[in-house]
Copies of this chain bind each other. A is one copy, B any other.
Amino acid sequence: MQRYKCTISYDGTLFSGYQVQPQKRTVQSEIEEALKKLHKGSPIRITASGRTDAGVHARGQVIHFDSPLHIPEDKWVNALHSLLPDDIAVKKVEKAAPDFHARFDATGKEYRYFVRLSNYKDPFTRHYQFQYGYPLDIKQMKAAADYLVGTHDFTSFCSAKTEVEDRVRTILRVGIEMSREQLMFRFVGDGFLYNMVRILVGTLLETGRGLHQPEDMKTILAGKDRSLAGKTAAAHGLYLWEVFY
């Protein structure tokens, strides 16, 4: 048995998220189905760095799996491509140590979130950018983002349904870049709670509209209450960009 580390990208539009669910088309089930074919019917289980929700995209999701097949690293990509649907691409397959774990060994992640600043519909970006028509004060948003960097209890910025008890996470960087009518958020951190990036984006967008002041972020964090933060931004603007090991 050889353990493989595999970097994949996918367009989340037509998936009911990453994780296997009965009767649903998911990223995990499509990849496991392809691996099963490659292994002549033997089921192969994959483990990802984490789940992504329905509609969320990935540029650099990482998974691991074990295989008895002796395929050179560079042949894996083509072998899998011929068996995978068009909305999943394998970017890299590398041999890994037998105890490598895509989830537990991850030391951090980068997520990006794309917003299209317009009141006009655009058929070409409808699944790939969140459309937001309000005028935004980018300086206020950047000032608010500065309060989020560091180690905090992010209870206010995760779904109320989150079952994880330890909600302390470290955000290393929040970048906000504007070019023409596109706004790009970058979040780099040691880990992110359920819906955390989407709630951070929703709150920063509301700050840009003047509904919150930058220093409100301190109060929101301290309150440990989801209802203090802004709306959850739509899934289709979010990309799992990179996983660090």
User: Which residues of A does B touch, CB under 8 Å?
Assistant: 9-11, 57, 77, 81, 86-91, 120-124, 126, 128
Contact = CB atoms under 8 A, between A and B. Distances in A.
B87 A122 contact: no
B124 A128 contact: yes
A31 to B, nearest CB: 13
A77 to B, nearest CB: 8
Contact of A123 (B88, B121, B123): B88
A88 B126 CA distance: 11
A119 to B, nearest CB: 9
Nearest to A128: B124
Contacts of A11: 123-124, 126
A50 B121 CA distance: 23
A116 B126 CA distance: 21
A86 B128 contact: no
A81 B90 CA distance: 37
Given A89-B123, A90-B121, 6 more contacts: A9-B124, A81-B121, A86-B123, A87-B126, A89-B122, A124-B128
A86 B121 contact: yes
